[in-house]
Structure 1
């Protein structure tokens, strides 16, 4: 199990990441998903700054992961789009409040 260097691009910036060879594809797919999410958040114009965009994307992805995990344990469905939008709005307000 040897590590290899993988280059991924997120928000037009290239990052060099070491990972086990057998996890390369998962890393590339994860980086692509993160890049898509961050571009979508940046595209709204509501969040400014790379750090805030990254935090918003991480919080959204974490929320989705927890919802999916809870749903698989409870046998229910994943979070609805409206739940995610409400969470996103709440996080936006909190971040904007802390910036001011």
Structure 2
């Protein structure tokens, strides 16, 4: 897959980032969300360096990702349980139908 560089701006600095063709909008969207989080952290904590702000943002984003992964796992578990119940119900109905047909 080929890529090309696009420019994004974070905390007043411009970065040239390699991006797969067709993924430019997604990268820009992520960069905009990151810029908002970095700016918010900077506004709340004036005495932190860029590196410290970036670390805090990474930790916040990592926590959000972990929470979403937990929600996804819970959803998968619920769907597995519902599928199991549906399979059991269908099997019971088929057995009942087969015994009535005899």
1:37 partnered with 2:30: no
Write out aligned runs for 1:1-100 (5 A): 1-45=1-45, 48-75=48-75
Query: Higher Cα Rg: structure 1 or 2?
Result: 2
Evaluate the alpha carbon distance shift between residue 49 and residue 41 of structure 1 in structure 2; reply closer, same or farther with a 3 A threshold: same
Gaps of at least 5 residues in structure 1 are 76-100
Contact kept in structure 2, 1:41 and 1:47, CA below 8 Å:
no
- Equivalent pair of 1:9/1:15 in contact (CA under 8 Å): yes
Using structure 1 for the length normalisation, give the TM-score.
Answer: 0.70
Q: Cα deviation per residue 1:44-94 (whole Å; 9 max; x = unaligned)?
A: 02651000000000100010011011111113xxxxxxxxxxxxxxxxxxx
Runs of 4+ in 1 over 6 A off after TM superposition: none
For these two proteins, the number of residue pairs brought into alignment is: 75
Query: What SS does the aligned partner of 2:48 have?
Result: coil
- 1:3–1:18 CA contact under 8 A, matched in 2: yes
- 1:27 Cα deviation from its structure 2 partner: 0.7
Verify the 8 A CA contact 1:47 1:53 in the aligned structure 2: no
TM-score w.r.t. the length of structure 2 is: 0.69
